[in-house]
Amino acid sequence: MSLRNTKTAFGRVAKFFHWSMVFGFIALYVIGFTMTDLPIGPEMFERIALHKSIGIGVLALAVVRLIWRFSNPNPALPDTMAPSERWGAHFSHIALYIAMMVMPLSGWAMSSAANYPVSVFGWFTLPNILAPSKAAVDSLKEFHGLLAWGILGLLALHVLAALKHHYINKDNVLTRMLPFYKGN
């Protein structure tokens, strides 16, 4: 299997980015939804710190992934796809890339507005990108939460579309992103 994409399959690098983002988002959602139920204390703060660190990791990975995406075109979509499906695939991928950037940035901005620096796994601390502001924290908290649900919706559509391609269309759209698929 090639490092780069081919006309029929994604390469190792694109698959690494895809599946790293999948696991990153799963971790972020599990931590994000469970940390809010904890009482204020050390365990809650540890989970928040881990959530922030993974979020910044996802942001960094998304930036590198986007650079890779522009320098390494995706395999062609099947010729049998209707124009509306092609448009839907294109739109949903753009929306997912935007979400991969905006979600962690909104969390970083929220932490900055709350005057809680973002330490990335204790290795380094990011500078605040907003001045402290209770109003900004409240707005960003609401935005971050709404965006979380929006991303879940996009991810559900993404998975359902992949399953449709595999089970109904019987093409290779799903399998070509699987880790051990080598292409036609």
Domains of the chain: 12-177 (1.20.950.20)
Q: What is the pLDDT of residue 60?
A: 96
- Reduced to 3 states, what is the DSSP secondary structure of residue 117? coil
Over residues 108-114, the mean pLDDT reads: 97
pLDDT for 79 beyond 70: yes
* pTM of the predicted model as reported, rounded to 2 decimal places: 0.89
pLDDT tens track for 51-60: 999 999 999 9
Q: What is the per-residue pLDDT for 164?
A: 95
Instruction: Tell me the C-alpha to C-alpha distance, in Å, between residue 28 and each of 22, 52, 90, 110, 151.
Output: 10, 9, 25, 16, 12
Band (pLDDT 50/70/90 cuts) for residue 183 is low
Computed over its alpha carbons, how large is the radius of gyration of the chain?
A: 18
Per-residue pLDDT reduced to its tens digit, 15-42: 999 999 999 999 999 999 999 899 999 9
Amino acid at 129: I
For residue 95, the tally of other CB atoms under 10 A from its CB is 16
